[in-house]
A and B are shown apart, each in its own frame.
Chain A
Amino acid sequence: QQPVQSPQAVILREGEDAVINCSSSKALYSVHWYRQKHGEAPVFLMILLKGGEQKGHEKISASFNEKKQQSSLYLTASQLSYSGTYFCGIPGSNTGKLIFGQGTTLQVKP
């Protein structure tokens, strides 16, 4: 039931764009995105609750395709601070627990 993320790793230059995908084998009603810096806890980025919903904060945005059971995270004009591992999380049950994907490591170079 663990969602599958792709790619596993991305290396970018500052200012370049990246897309991280998250796919599930089961129906989704929400997708969560987190970023984790090395040695730190994950930091919440955003939740998408509806099929077709798109959200964004500054130059990081995400979309949720309910029918395709997938979500994509878009990082535009990447900055050095975007480096880290990105996880998508999907609800595991109605208890509110999240099942996280294996993570996508993003490295932004000057």
Chain B
Amino acid sequence: GAVVSQHPSWVICKSGTSVKIECRSLDFQATTMFWYRQFPKQSLMLMATSNEGSKATYEQGVEKDKFLINHASLTLSTLTVTSAHPEDSSFYICSARDRTTMILDEQFFGPGTRLTVL
């Protein structure tokens, strides 16, 4: 149980294009999902908290208009990197909290999406 999937696993795109990354909780409902970015040999940096049915909460320094987050259902959150540039190349990872065990604060991570912007 508690499986989170991400799609795509990797993507290569040209500078200036937009890329959408999906995060799904496969066997549980997630009222809250989190989006992280990780550069090589660095820690996971939280970008935003995605809540089902409401606007995402972005961390300081993260551009809302560049990283669009939509949490349309209890099992799906999407991150769209708009007008991507080479500096946006990174490993993007989502995680989700099971609404039935939220008290434990446990997060289940997706496998990650490697974005390369040429």
Name A residues whose Cβ lies closer than 8 Å to a Cβ of B: 2, 30, 32, 34, 39-44, 47, 49, 87, 91-92, 95-103
- Please report the C-alpha to C-alpha distance between residue A46 and residue B105 in the assembled complex, in whole angstroms: 11
Chain B CB within 10 A, most for which of A34, A41, A49, A95: A41
- Please report the C-alpha to C-alpha distance between residue A44 and residue B106 in the assembled complex, in whole angstroms: 8
Are B46 and A40 interface neighbours, CB within 8 A? no
Q: Which residue of the partner chain, among A40, A92, A95, contacts B32 with CB atoms under 8 Å?
A: A95
Residues of A within 8 A of B34 (CB): 96-98
Are B107 and A44 interface neighbours, CB within 8 A? yes
Are B110 and A100 interface neighbours, CB within 8 A? no
- Please report the C-alpha to C-alpha distance between residue A32 and residue B109 in the assembled complex, in whole angstroms: 13
Secondary structure at the A interface, as helix, strand, loop or mixed, is loop
Residues of A within 8 A of B78 (CB): none
Q: Which residue of the partner chain, among A2, A96, A97, A103, contacts B102 with CB atoms under 8 Å?
A: A96
- Please report the C-alpha to C-alpha distance between residue A18 and residue B63 in the assembled complex, in whole angstroms: 40
- Given contacts A41-B110, A102-B43, A103-B43, is CB(A30)–CB(B105) below 8 Å? yes
Are B105 and A91 interface neighbours, CB within 8 A? yes
- Please report the C-alpha to C-alpha distance between residue A99 and residue B49 in the assembled complex, in whole angstroms: 12
Q: A32-B105, A43-B109, A101-B43 are in contact. List 15 more A-B contacts (CB 8 A).
A: A30-B105, A40-B112, A41-B112, A47-B104, A91-B105, A95-B32, A95-B49, A96-B102, A96-B107, A97-B34, A97-B49, A98-B107, A100-B44, A100-B46, A102-B43
B108 touches A (CB below 8 Å): yes
Nearest opposing residue in chain B for A5, CB measure: B43
